[in-house]
Amino acid sequence: MEKRTWSVENPFKIGFLGALGALVALLLAGILGSISTVLTYIGAALFLALGFDPLISFLERKKWPRPVAMLVLFVGVLVIIVLVVWAIVPSITEQVNELSIRYGAIIGDLLNSNIVEWLSANFPALDVQAAIAQATSWLQQNAASITGGVLQVGVGIINGLFGVLIVFILMIYFVTSMNTIKQGFYQLTPASNRASTMEITEEITGSVGKYVVGQISLGLINGVLSFIFLSLIGATMPMVFAVIAFLGSLIPMVGTISASTIIVLSQLILNDPNSPIWWIAAIYYLVYMQIEAYLISPRIMSSAVKVPGSIVVIAALTGGTLLGLLGALIAIPVAASLIIIVRKVIIPHQNAR
């Protein structure tokens, strides 16, 4: 048997190949970082398409032709998006411009309100006056950037609308070609495992679709009720905060409470601090969160995959950190899909060993 000898150039070859591999890995990481927004759009469009699939199947069971069902749903979603944008963009622009002009008066009203007196009396260790004075100083130093932020908000709105349009177009392609995509995926799997792969894939897509439909239903309920309630109590920008309530309800467990906190604090800042609007809103959202958690959500989400609460929080935080709001929305269906894979594939494989 010939004995292998090591020469001096072998370490150089190993080092060169290692450095080349590291450069390729860095290049791939840079590419993924550059297209992260595109990947987010694709993921969001795919999950929305899976959410549309149960609705289309429902209309098909009602003897609707599939193209007609898809057209009706697409037109309905597009009309809703246009109406929401038409309602909130002028309000946001006007309110941001007003805030940039009135921020000094808002701080003065807050200093003279009963809230500051109550906090100072009940929390003597907290120097409320000093904290507000620091905030005022910061606002004065950054007045120019605050005033110029109106343009940045406008650019952000345009970019957001562009992203929504891209996701909507991709969703249309995914919905119309969902069966073709599935069949192509099945053809890539070995014939011996194709039946089990089809079963697991259909369960995952069906579960994700039910989850998406359920969360959108929760969001619509919260958004519509928020708009009605905030309009009745004379709150500022009810449509804008209704959209915030809708988006918050899309994120399980942490989304509703986060959106409710934002709405209540915004009403406290945007209105007279002595006005009862903010605490009326606080009471309403405390009651609504209990009703949603114990009555509405269990009924709507009963057919979706049950994801443990700890995994929901971890997935939402991880997805939000990596990809923002869309990442938080996508993270829960991904977690549900992984649970199905573990239950259907990994656990049976381990039990068979």
Q: What is the DSSP string of 285-318?
A: HHHHHHHIIIIIHHHHTTTSPP--HHHHHHHHHH
Is 29 inside a domain boundary?
A: no
Decide which of 176 and 37 is more confident. 176
Q: Residue 300: name the closest of 181, 215, 228 by CA.
A: 215
Q: Would you place residue 287 in the very low, low, confident or very high pLDDT band (cuts 50, 70, 90)?
A: very high
Is 272 inside a domain boundary?
A: no
pLDDT value for 332: 76
Is 328 inside a domain boundary?
A: no
What is the pTM for the complete model shown? 0.66
Question: Would you tell me how many other CB atoms lie within 10 Å of the CB of residue 288?
Answer: 19
Residue 232: pLDDT over 70: yes
Number of domains in the chain: 1
Question: Would you tell me how many other CB atoms lie within 10 Å of the CB of residue 195?
Answer: 11
Q: Would you place residue 150 in the very low, low, confident or very high pLDDT band (cuts 50, 70, 90)?
A: very low
What average pLDDT is seen over the chain?
76
Q: How far apart, in whole angstroms, are the C-alpha atoms of residue 267 and residue 282?
A: 10
Token pair 């494989």 is found at 349
- Cβ contact 120:128 at 8 Å: yes
Is 336 inside a domain boundary?
A: no
Residue 305: pLDDT over 90: no
Q: How far apart, in whole angstroms, are the C-alpha atoms of residue 60 and residue 179?
A: 15
Q: How far apart, in whole angstroms, are the C-alpha atoms of residue 108 and residue 169?
A: 47
Give me the mean pLDDT over the 299-311 stretch: 68
What is the extent of the structural domain holding 95? Answer: 37-185
Any idea what DSSP says for residue 7? -
Is 262 inside a domain boundary?
A: no
Q: How far apart, in whole angstroms, are the C-alpha atoms of residue 31 and residue 308?
A: 34
Is 329 inside a domain boundary?
A: no
Is 282 inside a domain boundary?
A: no
Residue 53: pLDDT over 70: yes
